[in-house]
Structure 1
Amino acid sequence: MNKPNFLDDLQAKIQHAIDNSPVKDVEKNVKAMLNQGFSRLDLVTREEFDIHVQVLAKTRSKLEELEARVAELEEQLKKNAPQ
């Protein structure tokens, strides 16, 4: 038997056995169980997570600006306060 034909035949037989085995059903069942389990958890998508990261970064930046402004105003009050 020719080696390439033998390997092709062997591969075809293995693929046929896999296609007709319960492996595909098990895979589908496992995926369904995982999806069901994940749906019960309080998870967010990557997209939602990335949006929240951006919002938090913007909020942190604004907070730093406001803190600097408050410090500046406090310094002005100290200078202008009667002693």
Structure 2
Amino acid sequence: MIKWLKVLHYIGSLMMLFGGYLLLFTQTSQQIDGMMVVASLIGLGLLMMAPYPVALVIEWSHRQQKQQQITIKKTQTNTLDKVQPNESQDK
């Protein structure tokens, strides 16, 4: 799913850049039809770009949670290993 969002992100970037190019460097934006094309390219480009960073943050947070759980389990097993030999020496 991330791959598709990445492709959509790049397509959206190209659409936005092309819309910006039309707006700044051509006379297309001086006519009503041109205004609609430029606004549509920029707007749709931004909409297509938006989900990818959100998906990356969600993926990152899931990885952080998994790493934190692994770290907690390792810490618990290390403390149990340290506690168990001491208890056997007391007996």
For the pair shown, which has the larger CA radius of gyration, 1 or 2?
1
* RCO higher in structure (CA 8 A, sep ≥6): 2
TM-score by length of 2: 0.40
